[in-house]
Structure formats: C-alpha cells, structure tokens
Structure 1
C-alpha cells in the first residue's frame, strides 16, 4: 500500500475529487459536508489500474485549520497538490506549498480540478511557476481526466522509495476513539516498520498490547509500511491517547525535550510551535550562532530548541516551525541529546561543531565524535546508522578513535605513575563509564596487562615517563612544534627512549627523532580537510603552523594511514576518512 496526502486550499473541489476517485466520502463530519469545508483529516483509498493500493489523507485547506492540515501532512512520503481551475493560486495554496517544501517532500502530483467550470490552463500555468511536479487536469463532477489521474498516480507510486519493513515503529496518532465491544482504537500512517497483532508497544513510556489491526477497512494480523492502519489497543482507556502521541517500538527511540536544529529562518522567534508527525508542541528557541549587528542575516540558523513536552525524535527528522505572523519554517534535527551550555562561549563552540554538518544530518561517526564515548544502541535510538561505524570500544560501547588514542596515552601515564592501579580506579581517573572499556584499552596497549583486578605497568623506567610528561606539556601548547634533537636530549629522550615511549602508546613517532602526541595525526587530518583541495606540503605546513622537518614525515604518515592521498610530486588530497574526521 502507498499513502499520500491531498493538499491545497480548495476544500470542496478536493473532497469531491477524492470521492470521485475512490467512491469514499473523505469528509467524515456532517458539518463538513454541509459547509463544503474540510475541518479535520479525512481518509479514503482505492486500487489503481496496476493493482497498487493507495490511501489518501485529505487535509483541510482553510487557514483556521492549519494545525490539522500539518498533522496529516507530516508522516506522508508524497502529496497530491490540488488547485481549482476557477480559483487558481491562493494565499492558502502558498502556505500549503511552503509546508510541503519545508518538510522535504519532493515527490508528488499537481492536479487542477473543477475543469468543468473554467479552462484550467491559466491555473495550471500559474501553479507550474512554483510546483515542479507532473500535472493533470480533472473534473471531480464529470469524471473527465480521472483515468489519466489514476495512471499518473501509478507512475508516482512506482517511483517512491521502498520503506524499511524491519525498522522500529513510530506511529504518529492522528485519531483516537472508542468502538463498543472493542475498546480504544487509534489510527495513523505507518511510515516504516511492521505492526503485528500481539505486539507490545509504548505509549507515553507505558507498554500497551495490540489487540487487533485493520487497514483499508479490513482486519489483518500484520501491516507493513507504508500504510494507513487502525490499531485496537488492549486495556487502554480512551483518555490515555490523543492526536500527537505515538506508538513506539520499545527501546528503539530517544524521547527528548531539548534538541539542536537547523532552521530555514534568518531571525527565529523566541517562542513558536513545532509540528512533527501529528504533534504540535510549543517550543522555546535559543540561537547558537550570534546575529551580528548590521550584518546581513544568514539564510540558515542553528538553534537550541526546548520542547514543552518530550517527543520521540531522531537525528535527521524534518519538522515545521510555526509562529503567528511569520511564514512556516523548515526544521532539520541535528542532535537529540545535545550537551549542556554552561561555560562561557559554549553556545558558539557548539554552533561551530554543528556548522560542519548543518547542510545534512550528521552520521554516527560525527555524533560519536561529539560525545567521545557512547553506546551503539543509544546512537541507533538517536537515529544513527551504526552498521558501518568503525570505532574501538567494548561490548555495546564505542569510543571516538582520537579519544581512544588519547585515553590510551593517559592510561599509560597513570599506570607508570601508579603501578598496580585497580581497574576501577583507572576508570574513574579516565572518566570512563564502564570497566570493560578500561580492560579493552589495556588489551590494545601491550605491555599493559590486568592481573587480579590491577593494571600492570608500562614497562618504562620512571625517568622516561617523567620526560614524556614534560614533552607532552610542551606539545599541548603547540601540537606540531616537534622538539629538535637538542631539546629531546635536554629532556633525556634519546632514540632508544623515544622508541620505548612510542611502543607504550605515549608518543606518536613519525621519524627517528620527530615525535608528536598520540592523536596529532587525526587532528592534522581534520585541519587539512578544511583546505582547498588538492594542497601542497607548503600549504599544509602553514595550516598546521609547523616546519618542513615535521610536515614531510607527518604527511607521509597520513598517506600510510589512509587519511591523505598523494596525487603527484607536489599535490595531495584528503580522503573520505579525513572528511569524516573534519565533520566530527
């Protein structure tokens, strides 16, 4: 089955068209039929010539019922945009179209109806200036053009991407009612996943059982997306469920009331209403990137959004922001577990992180980079694809590779200073959430080992450890100012000591006497990814604020690590791996 919304301001013509196409009256209320005005969501369905089933969510067109319109538009993958030949493009048509664009719905069909009342050519030309979709002219009253409309719908549906039947369920509830003898029933558009009779789902965090399912007016034991579905819930009182709530697969969603977003709005309001799925939730906004006085307003803004109630949101979700007197604004969710903004300058630093990915949803590696350490299951619940995430860790835990490298160096220094330190004490010192991560770090850094709950030493004499600590302080201030041979000798680090320290994970050795801190190579990759590509060694030297003595072996190391690729004798380019590092 496929589900599309019918939008456009022309209520009577739209409902007449849906009724002529399906034989079902989408206006459920007597008042709607009396006034010729769609007030709430309507539903209808039919079978197309190909045998495909299509369901329609008919949304109100009048400006007084925009909230209801957005509740029906939110979960659908495609739209049938309906205009009247005798009315053309209206202000409300523009608002519907802005909502469709803001949600990122890029598949649809333009339909000019009521062609029996007026030549549709003028309305069609006017609409085509804004709507790039294939167009059909019809009359719901005479039936003219309906066969062509059915064929066009078939072509539209054939091109829609197939939803994932194994995805976790998030069913936005758009109706809730009681049937005598059956109990509470909720309906919605199933955009992904599969529902089965007997499933246990969550409503407001509480488990509920699926007693029965119905789709397109017929009982069924299983419904696979995309589909309109009615769910009979066992033992649930009617007042526990309402439009804007969700049925969720347990453990697969992160409910949140604070998110970081990208807004298609140069000067966002302080307060507005967020529309996503069938929900409409008041929110407060805090811009993260400051608007400079007298500077032209940017086309997009980054903001921290606080919701009046938690919603099950994911990174990459698209939503709408609505505030009286302003156009509808598109919202892209960038983070659903953002860090607190307490320290001075924290908002600006957060904006800098988000700006690297603001044009699209961040991937799992980027989100892990923001956190340093996270559970893979948590990343998945946040909306990240962890199937291709390559990151060290233990069990369900994953660690950002640069953070892992830095932790290994810190662990070696801790053990050198406190031989035989308990694993749990090392975990606290490193700020790690799980003992198994410390044990994994130990296994990754021989000659460290765990015996009787304690960590064995680095095998390095104390003078070497102290010398490396002194060198680390110098490199922390200037990461790519590798000390020369004379300074290394002053510190007591000859070639032998440097080799031992590098083997213990305390230093990154690029050449015989060119050493940096662990993780400096990944930091260099991030910096170089920001250069115009390809780049020369001289440009890399300037960007990294270092010398030729350091930059040449560093670039050769980056080549071997797959972070850069040499094109010829002069030029290199960063690899996709480096670009991913830059986005973290």
Structure 2
C-alpha cells in the first residue's frame, strides 16, 4: 500500500478530484457536505492499474484549518498537489507548498483541475516551477476535469508511476503510528486511525500509548486497512486499530502508538531550521506527525534552534516538522531534528559551542557523530534514539559489551583508572585494592559493567570486589617482620595460633590482619584466631581418620591445639560444608 495526501488552495477541487478517482466520499461531516468545504481530514482509497493500493488523505485548503491540513500531510511520503486552471497559483497553494517543502516530501504529482474552464497551460507551468523550486523531484503534471472525467486515466497512470519511485520502509522497524482519529464503536470499544509510516502492526500486538500523561500499554484487538480486516499490516499504510484496555475519549489526534520500550520521548530537541520569515517568535507551535505541541524556541545560530516542548514526543534524528505561529497561524519554518537528546547548555559560550557541533551534524542519524558527542552510548539507547547500530562499529568507535565508546574516551578511562588505583594504593597501603564501586565513580563510568573490560585494558586485576595492580600486596610497613615470624611458626605448628596479646605486642592491629587476610596470607577465624590458609585442609586430613562422629575434645587432642583454636576452626569447617553436626556435641566429616 502507498499513501499520499492532497495539497492546494481552498476550493481548487481537491475533494472533487479524489471522489472522482476513488468513487468514495472524502468529506465525513455534515457541515462539510452542506458547505462544500473540507474542514477536517478525509480518507479514501483505490487500486491502481499495477495492482498497488493507494490511500489518499484529503486535507482542507482553507487557511483557518491549516492545523488539520498539517496533521494530514505530516506522516505521508507523497503529495497530490492540486491547482485550478481557472485560478492558478494562489496564497494557500504557497502555504501548502511550504508545508510540503518543510516536511521533506519528495514525491508528487501535479493535477491541474477544472481544465474545462480555462487553458491549463499557464497554471501548469507556474505550478510546476514552484514545486521544483521547493525541491520536489521532477513532478509529472496532468490536466484533468473531475466532472467530465477528462485526464483522470492519465492522472491514475502518473500516480501509479509515482508509487514505483517510492522506497517502502523496513517492516521490521519500530512502530510509530501518529493517531489522526479516535472514536468509540458500541460493542467494540476504541478505534484509532492513522498513517503507519514505519514498522508493522498485527492483531494481538502490545503497543505503548504516548499522549498526555504517563505511557500506557494497549493491545490490538483487530486491524483494518482500506476497509478490509487484516491479520498484519506493514508500512506504509492507512490503518484502523481496534484497541483493548482504552477508556472512551482517552486517545486523541496527536497521540502515538509505539513499539513498547523502543522510543526515546524527547521534550528538548536541537534542530536545523529553514525559516520562511525573518524573525521567529519565541513561542511557537510544533507540528510533527499529527501532533501540534507548543514549544519555546532558543536560537543557537542562524539555522539552528533548541526547542523545548510542552510535552514529550517520540522523536528521532531526521524527523521533519513545521513551526507555526499560533497567532498568525502561518507556516513560518521547517525544521529537521538533529539531536533528540541534546546536552544541557549551562555554561557561558555553551550555545555557540553547541551551534558549531550542529553545523557538522548530518540530518540522518549517524552513530559516529552520536558517540563522539557523548563519549559513550549504550546500544539500547542508540536504538531508542533511532540511531542505526553498526557491525563492526564505525572508525574511531569501540564496541565494549553493550556500549559504544569513542576511542579517545576509552583511552582516557584507561589512564584514569590506572592513576586512581595507584593513588589508592599509596593512600591506603593496607587495603588489597580499590573498591570497584569507588573505581566506577572515580572514572565516571556510565555503567559498572564496563569496568571488567577496562581493568583488562589497563593491565590491572579485579578480585573480591577490588581493583589492584598486578602482584601488588598490601604494604604492612613495620608490621611485616612480625607477620612473617608468625607465618614461619605456623608453618611448623599449623594450629599453634598466637594469642591476641602476642599479636598486639608485635604491632599487628586488626587492620594489618585484615590486609594480610585479603592478600591470602592468613585466615582470621572467630576470637582473632589466626592461622595459615592451609590449616583447614590440614585439619581435615587429621579429622577424617578419627572414629566418626567425634567430639570437640577428640578433635582438639588429634590436632594438638587448644579449645580456643579448635572451636572456631570446627565452626569454620562447618560453614565450608566439610564437617557437619550430628548431635549437640558431635560432628562428622561430610561425604
């Protein structure tokens, strides 16, 4: 399916033309039919000679309804531009062309209506020149008369040819459906319609609703396209969705249905602007998709603006939108989103620096630019921002786990971590290394999961929640000699643990013992019982040959030590699962 919208001056025959093309009535309201004036959007469709289905959004031409017109043309990739032969190019022709130009619509067909009333040649030449000046591809032009049928076959052929030039979007893209109608059908519930510009929607799908208030989840009960029930529809398409779990009146034009958890909701965006007026008011209305949101504009440089939105919208780089003066109601600028997650501008000169960055920012999402600006970017965040991911990553960007990191940022992190670990060792010689939480905070890593790769890159070690230099043992200072002496004694007599007073007299404090234990030189059991790390295994060799079960007294005698050492040692073996209690006073070696 392909989708186009009409455009053109009021009363130039847009609705009459699409009625003749499709045999359907685009005007939905009684007031429209009574006055012969399109007020709101109309939706009709037809099948082209090639077999392609073409949906047409008929928009109002009157200046008072420009907001409705922008809602209709916002999500569509092609335009059927209508100019009357007997009136030629008019004010709203230019206004609608501004909208077409601002939204980046590149595909179109020009229809010169009412060819039975005047020579269509002058109007055709003037209109074609205006369209080409606005940047549309070479536009086919057809003179028609909807009343007599003159030229309609040629117009259908031109529309069919236009669809061949349109590149359909990827159906596996994220869904973003801008709602243009919402209503309730008794017995069925809420139904919404819109132009599906990306992704695919099917029965049973869960979608997020983005509107006023928090995100809500809804389920698609049924899908209809061009009046026919479908199991699944891919973009581009005009679709109607019957939704579950939606209160009547909850949804409205300008809300969006989104792939769950797949979109960044932006309330501040940086844009490149093409102004049709010399001065922009500070307060404007932003038209994007079918939404119309008040914004505050901050000029950064000629052609660059920061927009602060009244409510967040699912925007991504490359999105095109229109700025309109809510007072004068005219289209005064077209904008393209360059960054939907821009940095704050807090310091003096930040705006000028940001403008310089934006000058080199491509209009299409670019991973290298996005990572360069941030230093690092999570893969999931890139996807939510609509920035295409790459395998392998672009030059100058590293893929570290679930993150993209700029090479210079990675080098800075590596150097920073090495320096921080060295400084920590000097400041805390008794500690076995820098706590990992402190390392993450010191380097300002965006995700603790990056630390492991960074430790490896820096040639450091990570163990037991600490980061240290290779082979770096705690520096016990003057207490080193005392500890070495006790180690020699315990090597000869494994269970002759020194008394607490002996440790204190030798200058070994609790901090020294903890540092030695972290380095794997000793183990410290309850009641400050200090043994070598080999003691538990040696004890098991002795206890395993005792008659099972055994008492604590039997264990003490077999180990040749005191009750002060035996009880904490047996409790340690219990915790390790090497021995177990079988009665209040008995233990046995575990299987």
- Superposition TM-score, scaled by structure 1 size: 0.75
- The 1:243/1:386 distance shift into structure 2, 3 A limit, reads same
**Structure 1 residue 315 corresponds to structure 2 residue 317:** yes
The equivalent position to 2:205 in structure 1, one of 188, 199, 205, is 199
Partner of 1:236: 246
1:399 CA displacement: 1.7
Partner of 1:475: none
Partner of 2:529: none
**Would you say how many aligned residue pairs link Structure 1 and Structure 2?**
449
Query: Please, which moves more after superposition, 32-41 or 11-20?
Result: 11-20
Partner of 1:430: 443
Query: Please, which moves more after superposition, 321-330 or 60-69?
Result: 321-330
Partner of 1:450: 462
Superposition pairs for residues 116-155 of structure 1, below 5 Å? 116-132=116-132, 133-155=139-161
Structure 2 CA distance, aligned partners of 1:189 and 1:180?
A: 24
Conserved? CA contact 1:42–1:59, under 8 Å: yes
Structure 1 CA distance, aligned partners of 2:269 and 2:336?
A: 10
**Structure 1 residue 439 corresponds to structure 2 residue 443:** no
Partner of 1:467: none
Structure 1 CA distance, aligned partners of 2:55 and 2:463?
A: 64
Conserved? CA contact 1:412–1:458, under 8 Å: no
Superposition pairs for residues 408-427 of structure 1, below 5 Å? 408-419=414-425, 420-427=433-440
In the TM superposition, what whole-angstrom CA distance separates every residue of 1:443-496 from its partner, at most 9, and x where no partner exists? 2233x2212222231689xxxxxxxxxxxxxxxxxxxxxxxxxxxxxxxxxxxx
- Superposition TM-score, scaled by structure 2 size: 0.74
- The 1:129/1:392 distance shift into structure 2, 3 A limit, reads closer
Query: Please, which moves more after superposition, 385-394 or 191-200?
Result: 385-394
Partner of 1:282: 294
Conserved? CA contact 1:201–1:247, under 8 Å: yes
Name the SS for the 1:328 alignment partner.
Answer: strand
**Structure 1 residue 332 corresponds to structure 2 residue 344:** no
Structure 1 CA distance, aligned partners of 2:236 and 2:380?
A: 25
Partner of 1:26: 26
Structure 2 CA distance, aligned partners of 1:347 and 1:101?
A: 28
Superposition pairs for residues 151-550 of structure 1, below 5 Å? 151-204=157-210, 205-265=215-275, 267-289=279-301, 298=302, 300=303, 302-323=304-325, 324-325=327-328, 327-357=331-361, 360-388=363-391, 389-390=393-394, 391-419=397-425, 420-446=433-459, 448-457=460-469
Name the SS for the 1:240 alignment partner.
Answer: coil
Query: Please, which moves more after superposition, 366-375 or 18-27?
Result: 366-375
Name the SS for the 1:131 alignment partner.
Answer: helix
Conserved? CA contact 1:55–1:228, under 8 Å: yes
Structure 2 CA distance, aligned partners of 1:276 and 1:459?
A: 60
Structure 2 CA distance, aligned partners of 1:122 and 1:255?
A: 47
Superposition pairs for residues 62-101 of structure 1, below 5 Å? 62-101=62-101
* Structure 2 segments unaligned to the other structure (5+ residues): 133-138, 426-432, 473-591
Structure 2 CA distance, aligned partners of 1:122 and 1:398?
A: 57
Structure 2 CA distance, aligned partners of 1:11 and 1:438?
A: 66
Name the SS for the 1:239 alignment partner.
Answer: coil
Q: CA RMSD in A?
A: 1.7
In the TM superposition, what whole-angstrom CA distance separates every residue of 1:68-96 from its partner, at most 9, and x where no partner exists? 00000000000010111111110000000
Conserved? CA contact 1:320–1:331, under 8 Å: yes
Query: Please, which moves more after superposition, 7-16 or 254-263?
Result: 7-16
Conserved? CA contact 1:286–1:304, under 8 Å: yes
1:11 CA displacement: 3.6
Partner of 2:52: 52
Structure 2 CA distance, aligned partners of 1:226 and 1:328?
A: 28
Query: Please, which moves more after superposition, 210-219 or 326-335?
Result: 326-335
1:125 CA displacement: 1.6
In the TM superposition, what whole-angstrom CA distance separates every residue of 1:139-171 from its partner, at most 9, and x where no partner exists? 100001111111111110011012110011000
Conserved? CA contact 1:11–1:60, under 8 Å: no
* Structure 1 segments unaligned to the other structure (5+ residues): 290-297, 461-584
Name the SS for the 2:293 alignment partner.
Answer: strand
1:192 CA displacement: 1.0
Name the SS for the 2:249 alignment partner.
Answer: helix
Structure 2 CA distance, aligned partners of 1:284 and 1:91?
A: 28
Structure 1 CA distance, aligned partners of 2:55 and 2:338?
A: 31
Partner of 2:481: none
1:285 CA displacement: 0.9
User: Which one has the largest radius of gyration?
Assistant: 2
Conserved? CA contact 1:321–1:328, under 8 Å: yes
